[in-house]
Amino acid sequence: MPSSYATHPEAREIVFDFLEGYDVLGAFWMTVKLTALSALGSLVWGTLLAAMRVSPVPLMRGFGTAYVNIVRNIPLTVIIVFTSLGLADIFGVTMGAPDNFDVQGFRLAVLGLVAYTSAFVCEALRSGINTVPVGQAEAARAIGLSFSQVLRLVVLPQAFRSVIGPLANVLIALTKNTTVAAAIGVAEAAYLMKEMIENEAQTLAIGAVFALGFVVLTLPTGLILGWLSKRLAVKR
């Protein structure tokens, strides 16, 4: 960042003085990485949870329900801090990086975000499953498909298409939720913002820069996925 302003010292001093020496773009890149990996993870785990919640095995249904209802009701901060304080420090789950805290913190944050976000993905998917007409599943069963085939081949593909809108909301929420990873020292946008606010005087200007960054990240996501959800909606 600083080099690009170096040629216009007076502009730098007036407007972007507080940005000097801080890697704002790098911090947002960390936010993007956290978001992307957590989104992938929660899509997988959330789908599995949804499958459990509609499965023929009562115990799995119970587990899915209990998981979602417990995880959704705990503040994300508690979950993220617990991945580090509990999982890593007490249980020794160091995510393959026992000697590198930067990598470990990042992976733990992704794990925490996945654990939390997948509960919301599961619920969105479940409502999607509810939109698939009964006849579809009945027809699938009539031609002899098993539970997993009904789910994989008939119900879920339709369910996914109908819940792109809700999933977009979950993704946007996830993007903003990555700020909580600062609690275990992951150097993403909110972490840098705290550091800058502690060192510089222009609290409002710093806040505005980071607010803008998040608008830039989340608005296109919403617009693109909103357009996709209209295009891919199952016409009935």
Partner 1 sequence: MTSVLYDAPGPRAKRRNALFTVIFLVLLALVAWWVWQTMDDKGQLKWDLWEPFTTSEAWTTYLLPGLGDTLKAAALAMIIALPLGAVFGIARLSDHRWVRLPAAWVVEFFRSIPVLLLMLFANEVYARSGSVGSEDRPLYAVVTGLVLYNASVLAEIVRAGILALPRGQTEAAYAVGLRKGQTMSSILLPQAVTAMLPAIVSQLVVIVKDTALGGVMIGFTELLNTRSTLAANYANVIPSFIVVAVIFIVLNFILTSFASWLERRLRRSKRSTGAVLHEDTVEVNPAAVDGSYGSGAGGAFGGTV
Partner 2 sequence: MKLRKVTAASAAVLALALSATACGGDDSKDSDSAATAGGGGKIKVGIKYDQPGLGLKEPDGSFSGFDVDVATYLAKELGYEPGQIEFVETKSADRENALARGDVKFIAATYSITDERKQKVDFAGPYLLAHQDLLVKTDSDITKGTDLNGKKLCSVTGSTSAQNVRDTIAPKAQLKEYGGYSECIAALQSGAVDAVTTDDSILAGFAAQDKYKGQFKLAGLKLSNENYGVGVKKGDTETLNKINTALEKMVSDKSWQKAVEANFGPANYQNEPAPTIGNIVK
Stretch near partner 2 under the rule CB under 8 A, chosen from 7-15, 55-63, 147-155, 195-203: 195-203
- The one among 42, 84, 175, 177 contacting partner 2 by CB under 8 A: 84
Q: Phi and psi at residue 229, in whole multiples of 5°?
A: -65, -35
Options 80, 119, 164, 187; binder of partner 1; rule CB under 8 A: 119
- What is the number of H-type helices and E-type strands within the chain? 12, 0
- Residue at 3: amino acid letter: S
Q: Sign of dihedral through CA atoms 127, 133, 137, 138?
A: positive
Distance of CA 88 to CAs 15, 42, 100, 107, Å?
42, 20, 12, 11
Q: Which of residues 125-184 bind partner 2 (CB under 8 A)?
A: 182-184
70: number of Cβ within 10 Å: 10
What is the token pair recorded at 226?
Answer: 């909103």
Single-letter residue type at 50: A
Give the single-character DSSP code of 183. G
Q: How far is the CB of 69 from partner 1 (least distance, A)?
A: 6
Closest contact distance (angstroms) between CB of 109 and partner 2 is 12
H-run or E-run covering 194: helix 189-199
Binding mask of the shown chain, residues 168 to 197, with x at each position contacting partner 1 by CB under 8 A: -x--x---xx-x---x------x--xx--x
101 binds, among partner 1, partner 2, none (CB under 5 to 8 A by kind): partner 2
CB of 6 to partner 1, least distance (A): 29
Shortest gap between Cβ of 29 and partner 1 (angstroms)?
A: 17
CA distance 232 to 227: 9
Q: Which value, in Å, is the radius of gyration of the alpha carbons in the chain?
A: 22
Answer whether 148's CB lies under 8 Å from 171's CB.
Answer: no
Which CB sits closer to partner 2, 28 or 191? 191
Residue found by looking up tokens 């499958």 in the block: 51
Considering CB distances under 5 to 8 angstroms, the limit depending on partner class, which of partner 1, partner 2, none binds residue 105? partner 2
Residue ranges in contact with partner 2 by CB under 8 A = 81, 84-85, 88-90, 99-101, 105, 182-185, 191, 194-195, 197-199, 201, 203
Residue ranges in contact with partner 1 by CB under 8 A = 53-54, 56-61, 63, 65, 68-70, 72-78, 81-82, 85-86, 90-92, 119-120, 123-124, 126-127, 129-134, 137-138, 141, 146-147, 150-151, 155, 162, 165-166, 169, 172, 176-177, 179, 183, 190, 193-194, 197, 203-204, 207, 210-211, 214-215, 218-219, 222
